[in-house]
Structure 1
Amino acid sequence: MRDTSEDSCCLPFKQEFQRSKFSLHHDDPGVFCRSQWQRGDRNILWLLYRWIWAGFFAGGVIGSLVSSFNDGKWFIYLTDWGFTLCFYVCTYGAVVATIYFFKPSYFAPGSVALKIYWLSHYTTVVIAMMITLVFWAALYPSMPEMGADLYNLWAHAFNSIFMIVDCFMVAFPTHIMHFVYPFAAGITYGIFSLIYFWSGGVDFMGNRYIYFILDWERPGLAIGTVFGCVVLVSCFCILVFGFYRLRTCIYNRCSGQKQLEIPSTRASTETVQVA
């Protein structure tokens, strides 16, 4: 237990850079099923919130697939990968919340299902913000006519807005050392784009690239883009951790509660609210 006079909102940043923080084990499965702001284990508003957003992204993904399938080329774009991740994570979270609502004891500490949800949520938030920034900063200036398109707003703006809002709604913690998961997702897409190029793949307009900034006929540009995205992912991983700390700080100030550290993983510590 630490000195309670220490401000829990300003825990040493260096504490995040420990090997134990790679862990996806958490001793309280309920934090993945509840909202930071709800009272008690069950809350119908939280359940509705989860299913509304799952339906929101389901509508976007299905509508886009129907209108822009383009002989399967829908699946080559990082935008659609990211939007599908949003749909997947929201639906996964809704299912988890529903199970917990009807049977709070269902999930055990260290549940594999909750580990998957934890890493998926973190990865999706980071990737969504990267997609939004890259699209509006690097791609949109060359295709301004796409700005008013509903799906572009849905997949390049609403995705990040919702996922950031969700960071302030969920109850589970964020660890910077989980950066390995969004990194893995980004590297996977980079490798996919290279394999797609080598195999002679084209975009829906017949170009030999998926995005012009990821044109492997100009390897310097493509490698520079990949490197730039790595830097962005690093920054966004820290930013998402900042959202988590800000959320707990706001909660502490609003609830008038203090936080004491208790073991939340097998090898690390987290926080719990006490009156």
Structure 2
Amino acid sequence: MEMKMTKLEKWKEEAPTNCYACCTAALKEENDTPDQFGRSWRGRLSPLFWRVPIFVWSVAIISWSTAYFWGPREMFLLYMTHWGLILIFLESLFGIIVTVKKINGSLPDDKGLPWYVRTYWVLYNITVPVAFLITLFYWAVLRAPGKKINYAPNPILDVMLHGVNSGLMFVELMMSAHPSRLLHVMQPLYFALAYLLFTVAYYISGGLDPWGNAFIYPVINWAKPIQTLVVVTLTALFLALMHILTVGVAAARNFIARKCLKDKSGEYNDAFEA
């Protein structure tokens, strides 16, 4: 009971700081060391075994989707799907950098995180839930029965962009050793806000999609602001739910690691204590 009260008092004491950190999308660094970000929870299994293939996949799919884009090349970055693809490219690239530095012994030994580790962590916090959102939003809303617009005429590329993307990020989530935290929820939400502001600016400037429509996605049509705001609000809530799901999976992963591994050092995740 005394321990519970101590935790409650600690939570109350840190609440203003945690609230500020959450709103500003700051990283919450607790017992984190650079080493955690360059290894897997399976000990000797190097993250290079999955981060390098993810990086190669992202380069190949970016090249493929650019070459076979259904509209003018300058419109490639109109779509959240392609923003998410570039996120996967950057996240895997920085993940490889962190891992290689760990293998070379050039990661610092103290608990302070260098800039490239922090960059990787932010990209990870954004990329994983955004990938899940893109997949579910695409198949449930944009490709629902009765929809006429085909955003990926090539069926294989369609699955790569809107299915395999989530599968690869799930592998990254399940195999990594570093934590995911609830307080980082604003990082993917601010990324989504940046894309939303981009759609507003594009609409105001008179931009059209490849088919000549005055919107990028029919469900985000600023000519119908009320309908669009409802969709945007529900999407933001769903993205927050994807982040919570990510944190839950990471916590379950670490629980399994503590049960399976004899060496429990570094398997600390305070995601739900903040």
TM-score by length of 2: 0.82
Q: 1:25 aligns with which of 16, 22, 29?
A: 29
Q: Which amino acid aligns with 1:115?
A: R
Q: 1:134 — aligned with what?
A: 137
Q: 1:242 — aligned with what?
A: 248
Q: How many Å separate the matches in 1 of 2:61 and 2:29? A: 33
| SS of alignment partner, residue 213 of structure 1 | coil
Q: 1:95 aligns with which of 94, 97, 106?
A: 97
Q: 1:200 aligns with which of 185, 203, 206?
A: 206
The Cα shift of 1:263 comes to: 11
Q: Residues 90-109 of structure 1: CA distance to partner in whole angstroms, max 9, x if unpaired?
A: 11111221122112435762
Q: How many Å separate the matches in 2 of 1:132 and 1:150? A: 14
Answer with 141-150 or 21-30: which moved more: 141-150
Are residue 163 (structure 1) and residue 169 (structure 2) matched?
A: yes
Q: How many Å separate the matches in 1 of 2:206 and 2:215? A: 9
Relative to its length, the structure with more strand (as a share) is 1
Answer with 133-142 or 97-106: which moved more: 97-106
Cα gap change, 1:49 to 1:114, in 2 (>3 Å): same
Cα gap change, 1:143 to 1:248, in 2 (>3 Å): farther
Q: How many Å separate the matches in 2 of 1:73 and 1:52? A: 28
- Which ranges in structure 2 are unaligned for 5 or more consecutive residues? none
Q: How many Å separate the matches in 2 of 1:50 and 1:171? A: 13
Q: How many Å separate the matches in 2 of 1:83 and 1:106? A: 30
Aligned length: 255
The Cα shift of 1:216 comes to: 0.7
The Cα shift of 1:47 comes to: 2.1
- Which ranges in structure 1 are unaligned for 5 or more consecutive residues? 271-275
Q: How many Å separate the matches in 1 of 2:196 and 2:166? A: 21
Are residue 188 (structure 1) and residue 179 (structure 2) matched?
A: no
Q: 1:85 — aligned with what?
A: 87
Are residue 54 (structure 1) and residue 55 (structure 2) matched?
A: yes
Cα gap change, 1:82 to 1:98, in 2 (>3 Å): same
Q: How many Å separate the matches in 1 of 2:64 and 2:185? A: 31
Q: Which amino acid aligns with 2:29?
A: H
Q: Residues 14-35 of structure 1: CA distance to partner in whole angstroms, max 9, x if unpaired?
A: 96x9444753435411001111
| SS of alignment partner, residue 142 of structure 2 | helix
Q: 1:35 — aligned with what?
A: 40
Q: 2:65 — aligned with what?
A: 64
The Cα shift of 1:226 comes to: 0.8
The Cα shift of 1:178 comes to: 0.2
Q: Which amino acid aligns with 1:53?
A: I
Identity, in percent, stands at 24
The Cα shift of 1:260 comes to: 9.1
Q: How many Å separate the matches in 2 of 1:151 and 1:190? A: 25
Q: How many Å separate the matches in 2 of 1:143 and 1:149? A: 15
After superposition, the CA RMSD in angstroms is 3.2
Q: Which amino acid aligns with 2:60?
A: G
Answer with 210-219 or 27-36: which moved more: 27-36
| SS of alignment partner, residue 168 of structure 1 | helix
TM-score by length of 1: 0.82
The Cα shift of 1:257 comes to: 5.7
| SS of alignment partner, residue 47 of structure 2 | helix
Q: How many Å separate the matches in 2 of 1:263 and 1:152? A: 36
Runs of 4+ in 1 over 4 A off after TM superposition: 143-148, 256-264
Q: Which amino acid aligns with 1:161?
A: G
Which structure 2 residues correspond to residues 107-118 of structure 1 after superposition, within 5 A? 109-118=112-121
